[in-house]
Structure 1
Amino acid sequence: MAQPTSAATFLQALRDEGLTVIEVGNWRTHNRNSKGPFGPVHGVMIHHTVTKGTANTVALCRDGHSTLPGPLCHGVIDKEGVVHLVGYGRTNHAGAGDPDVLQAVIDERQLPGDNEATADGNRHFYGFECINLGDGKDPWPAAQLLAIEQVSAAICRVHGWSARSVIGHLEWQPGKIDPRGFTMTSMRQRVEARLKAGKPTVPPVTKPPVKKPPVKPVYEPFPGAAWFVMGRKSPIVAAMRRRLVAVGCNRYQTSANPDVLGTGDKASYEAWQRKCGYTGTAAKWPPGKTTWDLLKVPNS
């Protein structure tokens, strides 16, 4: 049992565990607190989404739908193990569940079977949606399973909980099957081992020898949205193209004229903005400064 951490502490705990985290929009204040309290918190709940595709899943979990307003969780864990934060506070992820299960989580003992749904899970659990079809066939990549282990351990660590504070939706609410494809028993064993190993250590920063500052920055600074005009020729375009291919956003149809801005660059960069969690018009061309800085285009 504990009061929820601040959003800043929550974010830092995830990063301290070694996770890659993308902050989506106004996630720190996006919640359902007007519908009820968030806290005291007792544990972490894991779900699968029954969707595929990162951008549309992140948008769905942030915004919800007509019958269930968002946010639908605190974070979305994609297939690559990246955590997309979409809300903080009360979120529509757990629904009503078994009060005996809740008490077992509080006591950190073995869970009983769930056979009723009268306790408010949205109030008492952090929730993470993991991108998976939930059909028993869609694979769970090692990077995604590691991220589930890491987010669970991070929150348990910051609250002083054991791995018994980590449960699946199927252990909370009768009729639910998520997450399907791995067992929560095996995941709790992973979390327990991680907690016993201690908090990950950050390698010490070694100061480089004193040198004159470089004339140019390591990465190309954002040239401004107006710079991205079709047909512009520049080594910056070629450097951007190499980075878009490297991050898995290759939508190019030809290798010709790599230093000339064209439709392939537009399609590839829009794919990158969607991968960064942007949707709708926010994901459209031209590039924005935030996603440009995240892309880390080498200085030409």
Structure 2
Amino acid sequence: MKHILIDCDPGHDDALAILTALANAQKLNIIGITTVGGNQTLAKVTQNAKNVLSFVSATIPLAMGQKGPLVKEFIPSDEAHGQSGMDGPYFKDTAYPIVDENAVHFMYKQIMSVDEKVTIVGLAPLTNIAILLKSYPEIHEKIEAISLMGGGLTHGNMTALAEFNIYIDPEAAHIVFNSNLPIIMAGLDVTEKAAIKVSEIQALKNKGPVSHLAYELLHFYNQSGRQFGFEDSPIHDLCAIAYLLKPALFTGTHYFVTVDTNEGIGRGHTFADKRLTASQKKNTLVLEDVDREGFVELLVKALEKLDEEIAQ
């Protein structure tokens, strides 16, 4: 069993990643979930996390982290995820508890409390994780890997070169990629291939309470994605969890990857040294392809399992 800590900014795809991890408790022990300003403001994404966790009666400790990036001003984006950051479903008011300490200290305590090493799953701008690594250098010895959704070697989505999570806080991403910790990077190179088709979304409707929640999330997300040219819906963040559950679904290549923090068109670009005699040690497994059908099956089975658990 892997011990994981999820840092996120829900987000439709964050929600599906969290649900899939919860459904696979025999493989993934979630020792905590933390939030950071990203898809929307910290308050909104934290409320979204509370909504998802409460919906399935989870008991995972939840902590709030940084409101915005290390250097730049935070500007929320409504384009992909709507005003709430997770538009589509209606949630009743929830009283899901929040840990009364900052996420960074919470992450440190949770990771240090486990005898084995912990994998950090980064589904958001990497601000919390970067501060953790800089504030507590001893934590490096306790981290097995960082599995993150972010970046892209061939293109971006915020700019021609930069993907959203990295673009929001490239200084934090630079710290993480240069931490000498093993990185698993699910960037746009693979996540845009990890798409669920409209017919597959429709099949979730009224199937069970959690499957129907996923339908509502994906229905909105699919409609929203059309403004960016997508017919199907890439479930970006789920890739970072799916790799931990079933790495055989993916293929990738190890590279030395770092992040452009300069002002200009390249800001936030994750770039790889592809030279045959690269001077830097390879630090990142860059996921490049995915078994799309197997990926969707993994999600559907997770939702079915949660449906069964709620029915009991």
Q: TM-score, normalised by structure 2?
A: 0.28
Which structure has more strand as a fraction of its residues? 2
Whose radius of gyration is greater, 1 or 2?
Answer: 1
Q: TM-score, normalised by structure 1?
A: 0.28
